[in-house]
Amino acid sequence: LRQISQRTISTASRRQFENRVPEKQKLFQEDNGIPVHLKGGVMDALLYKVTMGLAVFGTVYVVYELLVASMPKKQK
């Protein structure tokens, strides 16, 4: 039983991954005028635009709801 458990643990860790930290550090520390939150590429830009769109939409919606709530309802 002990050999079986050790074998399953040791075989799972055999796959080696390449260390990409130095190349990511070089990319993010490069002084190219791009903000750090956009240096990751297209997905970072897309995520930024979606987040900003949702924030603007949410702000407009909250202001609208506050205006609706502040107006007295017409009585019939």
| pLDDT at position 76 | 75
pLDDT tens across 24-43, in order? 999 999 999 999 989 999 99
In the chain, domain spans = 35-75
C-beta neighbour count of 45 within 10 angstroms: 14
- In tens digits, the chain (76 residues) has pLDDT values of 666 665 655 555 556 789 999 999 999 999 999 999 899 999 999 999 999 999 999 999 999 999 999 998 888 7
Half-sphere exposure of 72 (CA within 13 A, CB side): 3
pLDDT for the residue 65: 96
SS3 49: helix
pTM over the 0.75 mark: no
